[in-house]
Amino acid sequence: MCCSQDLINCESKESQTLKYKVKDQKRLNDLTRQFLESQSISTKPDYESLVDVLHFHEWRYYVKDDPLLADGEYDTLFNLLKSIEKENPNFIRVDSPTQRVGSDLSSDFPTVIHMSPMLSLPNSYNGDDLRDFDKQIKKLTAVEGDIEYVVEPKFDGGTVVLIYEDDTLIRGATRGNGTAGDEITHNIKTIKSIPLTAHFSDHGIMKAEVRGEAIIRKDRFDAMNAEREKKGEVLFANPRNTATGGLRTKNPSETAVRNIDAFIYQIAAAEGEGADQISNHAESIKILDSLGFKVPRNESKLCVNIDEVIEYCKTWEAKREAYPYEIDGMVVKVSSYLLQQKAGETSHHPRWAMAYKFKAKQATTTLEQVVYQVGKIGTITPVAKVRPVALAGVTVSSISLHNEDFINQKDLYLNDTILIERAGDVIPYVVKSFAELRKGHEKKINFPKTCPINSNQENPINLVRDENEAAWRCPTCVCGSQDLQRMIFFVSKDAMNIDGMGKSIVEKFHELGWLRDISDIYNLNYEKIAQLEGFGERSAEKLQKAIEKSKANPLHRLLFGLGIHHLGQRAAKIFSAEIKHARDLANWSIDQLQELKDIGPVLARNVVEWFTEAKNIELLDRLESGGVNLLQTESDMPKDFSDGPLAGKTILFTGTLKHMGRKEAQKIAEELGAKNISAVSKNLNILVVGEKAGSKLKKAEKIQTVEILTEEEFLKIRG
């Protein structure tokens, strides 16, 4: 039998019965890439092909539940179609995707007519689009001054349309085709944030239709999946599908266990003598809030003009990841009902509202090449060179593939079409490869077994892989790559923190032969630097100051900066608290080092090996004669947090923290007496869980002794 992953690859009997034959899928996928790349079409045959392409992707998405495109890419093609139809209305086919008002109607539920039809929102993508929208509103309403807008998140879940009559929830429905939806009252009633009664009558309203979005909190979704994994059940794909699927189950108790919330964002229709009393959207949200609905109260803003709207949209775009719910943009609404009425609507959209869509977080591209980089301890890191693609505001052309296991787990081949993602400030990563799109010219990625940089045919240097480590390493460095990486690491923020001396400067000085090892950093010729292109006297002086400053760094920074394998910041602090001078470590044996709390055998052996090598001791001497501090300083001395509230406990942070950075959190934990550790095991006492916590949380939940705290609960301990 053919699994869905292989649909395009194998021509089995089953695939013959599919709506799209294998070869058609390949052809349509090739066309997709062409349209995405050229983004310009003008001829009728091109138009026909584009419609076919969109139909195909709708089928993959809605019918097969196995999309081949990132959402943003579908939008790009859809917008391309809209623009060509605008220029050539005679092309428009009755089955064009633009002619369909999105519908989620199914025959499984009774169909009900909404009190007021629900149109869809037009999209905008940048500040200029929003300014055009504002100009259009002013024109339509004949207002010359500023317009007030309410801006609120565009929740990424499933629409719910609720009717309250005589203060009682009498019906719940999906959006359906906008005019009529599926009646899902029983399921809706399981959603705890939807009140079963609401005193609309206090406002003179006897019947009201309100709209909102059913949505699942990201952390609840993760916890739910962790639970399912524990029970060996199939995992849910994402919060949105889980919410929309939950609304439409035939069994309300299944809806109930999905932890669905509902944000209510609009009174769509109202009857009763009070119905006309509400004069604007901002007021309607306040009323809904007072009636007990979950509304976007803290998330929305009444903006006095379009500049404020744009600023607010951008602020939210930046904090999108930290928000507990999935949102894919903002919705900008003219607040005044009178002006809404004046602006009116088209057959598809209200003219008084606009969605501002955030930049796509995901995109597909091609894995063109894998290059290998050598790190400071000889670690070989594979890096994918991909077809450059715009992703959440930056162009991505290189992505780390981490190690050999990652390549195997993700089943990556050269020339594969891959899905990549970049969430917030997080560096891009490969989500998956589309095995079903392979055409036969893809090649297996063979991770090298000899150093790809140092080796030559006659003289191969075999890579080594330590037990329990994912990385392959080059054991000897003859090309200088490791020295270069060591220097880049030495000057970095966490190590010697030499301000202004970034990777590119170290690379340049290395290329010029000025830097061979880290001690050369303290023997630079600043006159020569000042003459370099792009430098000048002032920058040379600034660099000199930063380098001078680093000479007085505490010992633990230097120890960490030496780049000894496995010697992290914490171990560097433990050592510097024990010794008076860096060279003292040369007198410690493996056993003695291991007696120190938290120092394991691997690190102890690495340290002893490092300090046994004469060239390393000479390096320390050269650093010292260059003026670098090798002595224990005040800040290296041990601090006593042993009576803190978390004394004796081990702690680990996972997921995205909202209130502080990871490092800050670890520092707070230390000051409370806890010890930060890096993995979930039986030795872990506390796991602090931020947004999007993943495998660590799942693992911790399986260990009964681990106490799981939210970020807020952790902060409360500090008081």
Using CB under 6 A as the criterion, which residues of the chain lie in contact with ligand IVH when the complex forms?
A: 118-121, 152, 154-155, 159, 175, 213, 265-266, 331, 350, 353
The two tokens of residue 295 are 């509304």
**CB of 102 vs ligand IVH, minimal distance in Å:** 8
Q: Partners of 123 in the beta sheet?
A: 355
Report the nearest approach of ligand IVH to the CB of residue 415 (Å). 37
Q: How far is CA 431 from each of CA 419, 551, 578, 712, rounded to the nearest angstrom?
A: 5, 43, 44, 30
When the beta carbons of 120 and 544 are compared against ligand IVH, the nearer one is 120
Query: Which strand ranges, in their side-by-side order, compose the sheet holding 429-433?
Result: 394-400, 380-391, 362-374, 417-421, 429-433
Q: Smallest gap, in angstroms, from Cβ of residue 563 to ligand IVH?
A: 49
Q: Whole-number minimum distance, CB 666 to ligand IVH, in Å?
A: 36
- Residue 213 or residue 636: which is nearer to ligand IVH going by CB? 213
CB of 208 to ligand IVH, least distance (A): 15
In this structure, what token pair is assigned to residue 506? 């170290």
Count of alpha carbons within 13 Å of 719, Cβ hemisphere only?
5
- With CA atoms as reference, report the closest residue to 506 among 480, 531, 470, 527: 480
3-state DSSP percent of the chain in helix, strand and coil, to 5? 40, 20, 40
Q: Which of 19, 21, 154, 675 is catalytic?
A: 154
Smallest gap from Cβ 390 to ligand IVH, in A, equals 24
Query: How far from the centroid of its chain's Cα atoms is residue 655's Cα?
Result: 11
Q: Which is nearer to ligand IVH, 331 or 574 (CB)?
A: 331
Contact 624, 631 (CB under 8 A): no
Our CA angle for 195, 197, 198, nearest 5°, is: 85
In whole angstroms, the minimum distance from the beta carbon of 350 to ligand IVH comes to 5
Cα-Cα-Cα-Cα dihedral sign, residues 709, 711, 716, 719: positive
CB of 77 to ligand IVH, least distance (A): 18
Which CB sits closer to ligand IVH, 154 or 565?
154
Nearer of residues 243 and 555 to ligand IVH, judged by Cβ: 243
C-alpha of 619 from chain center:
42
Residue with smaller CB distance to ligand IVH, 265 or 434: 265
Nearer CB in complex with ligand IVH: 133/155: 155
The answer to whether the beta carbons of residues 386 and 366 sit under 8 Å apart is yes
Cβ proximity to ligand IVH: between 243 and 367 the closer is 243
Strands (E), 118-184: 123-124, 149-155, 158-165, 168-173, 180-182
In the numeric block, the tokens 């009682």 are attached to 168
Closer residue to ligand IVH in complex, CB, 357/675: 357
Question: What is the closest distance, in whole angstroms, from the C-beta atom of residue 106 to ligand IVH in the complex?
Answer: 16
The CB-of-353 to ligand IVH minimum distance in angstroms stands at 6
Q: For this structure, is 154 an active site residue? A: yes
Alpha helices by DSSP H, 102-184: 127-141
Q: In what order do the strands lie in the sheet with 207-216?
A: 168-173, 158-165, 207-216, 260-271
- Whole-number Å distance between alpha carbons of 591 and 577: 18
Distant-in-sequence contacts of 379-384, Cβ < 8 A, 24+ apart? 379/471, 379/472, 379/473, 380/448, 380/451, 380/452, 380/463, 380/471, 380/472, 380/473, 380/474, 381/471, 382/406, 382/407, 382/445, 382/447, 384/412, 384/418, 384/430
Give the nearest distance from C-beta 495 to ligand IVH in angstroms.
Answer: 46
- For ligand IVH, the nearest residue by Cβ is 159
User: How far is 399 from 402, CA to CA, in rounded Å?
Assistant: 9
Nearest to 562 by CA among 602, 513, 613, 599: 613
Instruction: Pull the structure tokens for residue 626.
Output: 């260059």
Which residues, other chains included, contact 114 with Cβ-Cβ below 8 Å and sequence gap of 6+? 161, 173, 176, 178, 179, 180, 181, 209, 268
In terms of CB distance, is 154 or 570 closer to ligand IVH? 154
Residue 153 and residue 294 in contact, taking contact as beta carbons nearer than 8 Å: no
Question: Which residues are bridge partners to 159 per DSSP?
Answer: 213
Strands 180-182 and 686-689: unpaired
Q: Is the dihedral of CA 187, 193, 197, 203 positive or negative?
A: negative
Distance between CA atoms of residues 314 and 305, nearest Å: 15
Contact partners, residue 52, CB within 8 Å, separation at least 6: 28, 31
Q: Which is nearer to ligand IVH, 266 or 576 (CB)?
A: 266
Separation of alpha carbons 214 and 244, rounded Å: 7
Residues annotated as catalytic are 154
